[in-house]
Structure 1
């Protein structure tokens, strides 16, 4: 039986198939687009290999594209219907069960099965990568950290793929709040391979979460050629750059990045990219900046997808786009459609049902209320959820648009007590963030404390000027 680079047998596979498998895993770990072609080659040479079929199923789910997942489910179901499970080893059985669970919408069971697999086979890089991405999609920061941390001791220091594992571990550390350790670990991964875009992304997150935007800008500028093309994270890392620019007060730069990289006529309309675009424009919306033309184009892109219920995190950003474009009726239709879906019987194990019912829909309703100026309702909806927003997935940086929505609504509705708490929490964590000091100034002005407001605005201005490192390429 043929064996892959990690020492695992490929059931019903040949030496040629193993070559395709190794190539596919390598591309996956470094977010290279050629992973799709490599998996196609793997399926062609080893169509009866459970790991090959599971790999294709994983790709169908991780992009959060409903059409891709549906196609993957049809292919996998056809394979599984004729599969004799009694002849499979434990690794193949676990991969098969995990893939089946994910395609059925049970992300948490699929995640647990892959975690069980990683305990027994800690050098199964495919299981580690997919499990890590599921932890991200479900907002499980501790498992995002510990799934990889628990496997690292099985990887030798000189293994070429220890690097991308360090990059994954760095992101888990960051999401769990270990910023210094995350930056150190991510930097070590980048030293091993300068094109490790997930590791670069992890380091970038550490700067974002600490409000150290000038350092983040410098970090990305120093490595532009390593992350800005030829990988699945190009758009997302440009999004991070735009966040830094916006924090520095360079709105024109942020919008230039938006037009060049986040959303334009050449954009592919993928959910992962559209949500970055929405999250960026929503920050402009909160700042009172009119971006109607950009909102219209983005809302058209979401509308063209006509997504069924699939992933609440995507729904939230679609609603952002509709209300940002003034198309509230479309936002309300999406919300009503999701409510009808929740009322349908069956599929109680679909992870997205709980995501949608408990967090996603209230957040969508809060966004509609914010656009209508009903800020009291926004507070009533988001305040109880502010420590549960991770349950719809994404990162802290991505979900910060929702935290800022709550803060804005608290200020606008006169809930000064809540606003003070929210600003205090943010400033304690990110004392170098101009946004936080501008929010302090807004609260001080509302309370009639002109001197404190002036001091806070001055501090925000001084901090913003530290962002003069922002590139002028846009």
Structure 2
């Protein structure tokens, strides 16, 4: 009997044990659960010619920020797959190779073409989805809608109880404004596979969009102890709880969560999450008028410098801009703005001019030139989505603009921005700002 993957597609291996390890490893990868690498390496040990196992390992290594290892693994997969595998597996490995090598636009094009033929190829379907997926980092302003459209296009190909598809279909709808529908789908995904960090994350996001901060904290505090701190989303889920605490004006609890789970010296998460979570929480604390304890900014700066010394993804760059401004490294901030402006001119930044603009606005805000910050960010609100990430993550830009408008005496404009936020997400009870804005 031919071996199959976890969604029933044939896979080229003669080892039933290797196939079982591959299925387990892919599902652990898709649930952001520890153990995926061990399972995929076991599949390779059992069948060194198992191309899809090498490719899945490459995907995991790339997610974890280990590009050299990822490229070696995917090169091995490409070497093997052309010899005896099926057209689907050849396309599968090629698409993952493009993603691993940073050829994001081509990877997205290939992934969508691949899914037209093989919509149940779940590892390929995962590539465009998510806050850091190919859609999110494409520079598109409407990537939230694109994810929903893709999920709905293939929905009839998946079992109604498929835990992974429920998770990502739910997350996509919640991010795109259908929050109650999205939350329901994601909760069903979590019920069907409790050991599923992506589902807990999706539900927490939906709760954030609903303004259900207490529910989000209760969910995370009850679920997080079940998740190994080595899990790639452990620190990020704790960040959600800290953000909820801050939303209800409890900075001490937010800082306690940050110190225990989120700060770079303790988090074992993905570098992109460690940097963005640290910077965004500390920036919010400082911008809201709370004191950031000594050493926390410096720790974040050291970690970011070690991981992102050179300009890269737009999502990372906006956080580097905020970090440099907050820590007084204004020469470095200016140099990064110049470098990113050149990248925009060269077509190397799909998100476009929003990236250097955020760097300039952050400098203005740090210098208490709130009018200039508002002048820069105000016309760009529709471009915020182009940097990628989630609505909760991008809201730091909107919050910075709101504060700049309020502090520069532009209350009417602040009220208009807040009204647009609530129109976009009417389920969110945004009380933090309403009582502070007087027109």
TM-score, scaled to structure 1: 0.82
Report the alpha carbon displacement of residue 437 of structure 1 after superposing the two structures with TM: 1.9
Asked if the contact 2:235/2:267 (under 8 Å) is kept, the reply is no
Q: Hey, what does 2:74 align to over in structure 1? A: 76
| Alpha-carbon separation, structure 1, partners of 2:198 and 2:101 | 28
| Alpha-carbon separation, structure 2, partners of 1:83 and 1:26 | 23
Report the alpha carbon displacement of residue 284 of structure 1 after superposing the two structures with TM: 0.9
| Secondary structure of 1:7 counterpart | coil
Q: Hey, what does 1:459 align to over in structure 2? A: none
Deviations 1:105-145, CA, capped at 9 Å, x for gaps: 23233123223323322322222223323234447212322
Is 1:396–2:391 an aligned residue pair? yes
Q: Hey, what does 1:174 align to over in structure 2? A: 174
Report the CA distance shift for 1:44/1:369 in structure 2 as closer, same or farther (over 3 A).
Answer: farther
Q: Hey, what does 1:164 align to over in structure 2? A: 164
Is 1:354–2:350 an aligned residue pair? yes
TM-score, scaled to structure 2: 0.88
Asked if the contact 1:50/1:95 (under 8 Å) is kept, the reply is no
Is 1:54–2:55 an aligned residue pair? yes
Q: Hey, what does 1:263 align to over in structure 2? A: 263
| Alpha-carbon separation, structure 2, partners of 1:146 and 1:310 | 28
Report the CA distance shift for 1:391/1:48 in structure 2 as closer, same or farther (over 3 A).
Answer: farther
| Secondary structure of 1:131 counterpart | coil
Is 1:110–2:107 an aligned residue pair? yes
Where structure 2 has 5 or more consecutive residues not aligned to the other structure, the ranges are none
Report the alpha carbon displacement of residue 83 of structure 1 after superposing the two structures with TM: 6.1
Which is greater in Rg?
Answer: 1
Q: 1:93 is matched with which residue: 90, 95, 99?
A: 90
- Over aligned residue pairs, what C-alpha RMSD do you find? 2.7
Q: 2:323 is matched with which residue: 321, 324, 329?
A: 321
| Alpha-carbon separation, structure 1, partners of 2:330 and 2:291 | 16
Report the alpha carbon displacement of residue 374 of structure 1 after superposing the two structures with TM: 2.4
Report the alpha carbon displacement of residue 32 of structure 1 after superposing the two structures with TM: 1.1
Q: Hey, what does 2:336 align to over in structure 1? A: 334
Asked if the contact 1:186/1:202 (under 8 Å) is kept, the reply is yes
Q: Hey, what does 2:220 align to over in structure 1? A: 220
Q: Where does 1:417-436 land on structure 2 (aligned, <5 Å)?
A: 417-428=412-423, 429=426, 432-436=429-433
Deviations 1:249-271, CA, capped at 9 Å, x for gaps: 11100010111111053334822
Is 1:309–2:321 an aligned residue pair? no
Where structure 1 has 5 or more consecutive residues not aligned to the other structure, the ranges are 448-474
| Alpha-carbon separation, structure 2, partners of 1:92 and 1:222 | 40
Is 1:155–2:153 an aligned residue pair? no
Report the alpha carbon displacement of residue 88 of structure 1 after superposing the two structures with TM: 4.6
Q: Hey, what does 1:197 align to over in structure 2? A: 197
Q: Hey, what does 1:381 align to over in structure 2? A: 376
Report the alpha carbon displacement of residue 383 of structure 1 after superposing the two structures with TM: 1.9
| Secondary structure of 1:308 counterpart | coil
Aligned length: 428
Asked if the contact 2:406/2:414 (under 8 Å) is kept, the reply is yes
| Alpha-carbon separation, structure 2, partners of 1:268 and 1:233 | 9
Report the alpha carbon displacement of residue 46 of structure 1 after superposing the two structures with TM: 4.1
Report the alpha carbon displacement of residue 412 of structure 1 after superposing the two structures with TM: 2.2
Report the alpha carbon displacement of residue 86 of structure 1 after superposing the two structures with TM: 8.2
Report the CA distance shift for 1:266/1:303 in structure 2 as closer, same or farther (over 3 A).
Answer: same
Report the alpha carbon displacement of residue 19 of structure 1 after superposing the two structures with TM: 2.1
| Alpha-carbon separation, structure 1, partners of 2:272 and 2:127 | 18
Report the alpha carbon displacement of residue 400 of structure 1 after superposing the two structures with TM: 0.2
| Alpha-carbon separation, structure 1, partners of 2:353 and 2:333 | 18
Deviations 1:152-191, CA, capped at 9 Å, x for gaps: 3223346xxx012101111001111101111111221222
Report the alpha carbon displacement of residue 198 of structure 1 after superposing the two structures with TM: 1.6
Report the alpha carbon displacement of residue 50 of structure 1 after superposing the two structures with TM: 3.7
| Alpha-carbon separation, structure 1, partners of 2:277 and 2:152 | 28
Is 1:207–2:207 an aligned residue pair? yes
| Secondary structure of 1:307 counterpart | coil
Report the alpha carbon displacement of residue 343 of structure 1 after superposing the two structures with TM: 6.4
Q: Hey, what does 2:21 align to over in structure 1? A: 20
**Higher deviation after alignment, 316-325 or 174-183:** 316-325
Asked if the contact 2:220/2:238 (under 8 Å) is kept, the reply is no
